[in-house]
Structure 1
């Protein structure tokens, strides 16, 4: 950082107010790129003669030096009152951020509880199949009830899960993602419940497959045959459940079928694949790309969507795939982004009615992560300049924004 006279500021200069103290200025960030003359006037009203600026992160050069203009005699100074009002506005906004952060923490606790419940359900098959099936319907019912009638769909990124969370987390992710897509497709409530149960139990048969085979990226033909047998094992595990619905069984049987006929076990094509199974197939693929067994190969949400919409598009129902992309947004939760003021953040939630202005958690080393700023771009004059690859960001930035590396998706209603 270098010192610069406030009189030489113009929009595009990247400044730091860290030495002043976060609560002694009205801006939301300690460091940002100036975007308006109004911001410069506010800096003058703070009484600052010089300010720290970063040439490397500035998009313009400072104004040339010029003689300071003398004050106008007899003029009233309203700066103190204006600054006080701006600071009051900042405090009110911070209180709103605190409430939003508490809501996010509540959803994290709900997710942890739902993950435990999902794990218990999966362990109940086949010995306690009827009881486990009832538990799955109850869990799905709570989440579906949270979706029906909601004014906006909330996709929440949870960063608090351990790296080795097992099948329960994947099952819960696929269930929730399937429900998000099912609701966007305007499925009736009963179909949503069947979709949720099928999504939760879709990999039930993998309980019979050795972990070594599940984790192997390049299987031998015998290993691949053993892996594909998980579909039959899953259907067998449901055999004791008398009231299992046919659409649920079809999800287990067909979630690896592909639109172009290249899937298994029956090489079904197009609309011959049951619709609910087509939805689960999309959710399953997306979560496997974002959260593979080997996290070194994990893709960001934006990268996963690009692959599914590009090289993988032949595998999925094109209408449902387009709807899935629209549901998650241009910048899906979990996407690292750079804002128009040069700040770096992580998308936490998307707005279905404004996909370009998500809720973003901002990186600021002067603020503890537990108090990190959550900025709704619908409420401020900022925009996303573009998505960033975490591999190209400093490690401390990635660890601040996504300390555990895995992504989960959650909605209201699972408490």
Structure 2
């Protein structure tokens, strides 16, 4: 029903030089969660006492339909799925409304480019060299987050110095080899914890920061803030947190977690004020549609914008209630659709470049028909990673898995093509990523352990694990 709203984006209540805020909507297209800011008649001629309110139920919609033909809806205050859809429609159809003879204007939100340097840190070391240290640190972070949540729940002080030290170690590990920790962010093991989202998002955040050349102290601030951004959720009723789809009233209650997080962290003098600013701003959105402050563009701190992007990405790849992550391409497509609307376009593009279209741990199908798992990135050629091939072209398990370096294979193929010994279409490439679980024979955790900790050897043990 809300798709019809695009036909009713008739008028904007602010001048063209200001970001679009209010849409004139037919009462037939109203939904719960919309914030009605103006009517098509004086408020005194209606039974609505408040000059601005959220639509909470169908009865309020019926009342509006009884007294009005259209209303003005505040785009940025509208919550839930109605808010997301309405802001997307506005982002996509600002210019298209001109086709109806109306003066709608697509406004570029002021936002200065972020300074980026891809040469700040040396080329990564092989993941296998850093794998043991990364796994140890990952365990320490998980245990540390368990301790943090326990302390928050009992109103005791946070172990800030210990968390800082662990994240400092995480930063140094990621600077040496991003792929080692990318494995740990991508693969979900059986001992999954409720707070593992924050741990995964923190890993993506530091990977992102390394890619654009953040200084070490900024990487530390970003990593700690992403770890602690959700501590305030312990103050939100469990039934609200666990709702698969929140009604407007529950959504407003849920959004209070940001203020709770800020209050908890602000009470501890050891917490870096920059960390608190990142936590405060990580749910703000580029177009002003976020919370708690409705900030937009340059008003949102850069590190908070980055924290928002990695939060979205991890929530998209690990949807609530799902037993396994989804294919990264779906999450990347969703994120890319929101560029310039919910997130700064430059940072969206940089993040996608940072993780690659096929992050480490992704199951992929090759143009040869074979199926494998991405085990390591080629950082100057992201579409040509190293893949451990597990299934043949007929999707049968190989008697012995083999490591296939797409970048090196492409170099060899180019030479053969130059000599006329190979046709261009015979080059092997990735054609798609695959949803985990599509091929039960592909045990990503086993591939990870064998590649990282057995140096690609002991393949008989590898297959004995796959066979179980």
What band does the TM-score fall into relative to the shorter chain? 0.5 to 0.7
Q: Unpaired segments of 5 or more residues in structure 1? A: 1-98, 405-415
CA 1:295 to 1:394, structure 2 compared with 1: closer, same or farther past 3 Å?
closer
Number of aligned residue pairs: 300
Q: Identify which of 154, 157, 163 aligns with 2:183.
A: 157
1:181-239 Cα shifts (integer Å, max 9, x gaps) = 11222211111111111111011111222333222232122211211111111122223
What is the aligned partner in structure 2 of residue 176 from structure 1? 203
In the alignment, the residues of structure 2 paired with residue 312 and residue 360 of structure 1 have an alpha-carbon distance, to the nearest angstrom, of 30
Which structure carries more relative contact order (alpha carbon 8 Å, separation 6+)?
A: 1
Q: Does 2:434 match 1:389?
A: yes
In the alignment, the residues of structure 2 paired with residue 151 and residue 363 of structure 1 have an alpha-carbon distance, to the nearest angstrom, of 25
Q: Does 2:194 match 1:166?
A: yes
Q: Say if 2:174 and 2:180, in contact at 8 Å, map to a contact too.
A: no
RMSD (Å), alpha carbons: 3.1
CA 1:243 to 1:126, structure 2 compared with 1: closer, same or farther past 3 Å?
farther
Three-state SS of the structure 2 residue aligned to 1:357 is coil
Q: Identify which of 324, 335, 346 aligns with 2:373.
A: 346
Q: Identify which of 444, 449, 462 aligns with 1:401.
A: 444
Q: Say if 1:108 and 1:160, in contact at 8 Å, map to a contact too.
A: no
In the alignment, the residues of structure 2 paired with residue 346 and residue 276 of structure 1 have an alpha-carbon distance, to the nearest angstrom, of 32
What is the aligned partner in structure 1 of residue 278 from structure 2? 251
Q: Identify which of 399, 406, 429 aligns with 1:377.
A: 406
Q: Identify which of 291, 301, 315 aligns with 2:318.
A: 291
> How much has 1:268 moved relative to structure 2?
0.2
What is the aligned partner in structure 2 of residue 359 from structure 1? 386
> How much has 1:394 moved relative to structure 2?
4.8
In the alignment, the residues of structure 2 paired with residue 100 and residue 179 of structure 1 have an alpha-carbon distance, to the nearest angstrom, of 16
What is the aligned partner in structure 2 of residue 114 from structure 1? 141
Q: Does 2:162 match 1:135?
A: yes
Q: TM-score, normalised by structure 1?
A: 0.64
> How much has 1:270 moved relative to structure 2?
0.3
What is the aligned partner in structure 2 of residue 9 from structure 1? none
Q: Identify which of 225, 231, 234 aligns with 2:258.
A: 231
CA 1:105 to 1:154, structure 2 compared with 1: closer, same or farther past 3 Å?
closer
CA 1:170 to 1:152, structure 2 compared with 1: closer, same or farther past 3 Å?
closer
Q: TM-score, normalised by structure 2?
A: 0.57
1:26-57 Cα shifts (integer Å, max 9, x gaps) = xxxxxxxxxxxxxxxxxxxxxxxxxxxxxxxx
> How much has 1:257 moved relative to structure 2?
0.2
Q: Unpaired segments of 5 or more residues in structure 2? A: 1-125, 411-426, 448-468
What is the aligned partner in structure 2 of residue 320 from structure 1? 347
In the alignment, the residues of structure 1 paired with residue 156 and residue 346 of structure 2 have an alpha-carbon distance, to the nearest angstrom, of 35
Three-state SS of the structure 2 residue aligned to 1:115 is helix
Q: Say if 1:129 and 1:240, in contact at 8 Å, map to a contact too.
A: no
In the alignment, the residues of structure 1 paired with residue 246 and residue 177 of structure 2 have an alpha-carbon distance, to the nearest angstrom, of 45
Q: Say if 1:195 and 1:248, in contact at 8 Å, map to a contact too.
A: yes
What is the aligned partner in structure 1 of residue 329 from structure 2? 302
Three-state SS of the structure 2 residue aligned to 1:285 is helix
1:339-371 Cα shifts (integer Å, max 9, x gaps) = 243210122332221212212232246569xx8
In the alignment, the residues of structure 2 paired with residue 206 and residue 301 of structure 1 have an alpha-carbon distance, to the nearest angstrom, of 26
> How much has 1:157 moved relative to structure 2?
2.3
Q: Say if 2:130 and 2:173, in contact at 8 Å, map to a contact too.
A: no
CA 1:295 to 1:126, structure 2 compared with 1: closer, same or farther past 3 Å?
closer
Q: Say if 2:148 and 2:159, in contact at 8 Å, map to a contact too.
A: yes
In the alignment, the residues of structure 1 paired with residue 189 and residue 348 of structure 2 have an alpha-carbon distance, to the nearest angstrom, of 27
In the alignment, the residues of structure 1 paired with residue 287 and residue 235 of structure 2 have an alpha-carbon distance, to the nearest angstrom, of 29
CA 1:361 to 1:252, structure 2 compared with 1: closer, same or farther past 3 Å?
same
Q: Please list every run of at least 4 consecutive aligned residues from structure 1 whose deviation after the TM superposition is greater than 6 angstroms.
A: 99-103
> How much has 1:135 moved relative to structure 2?
1.9
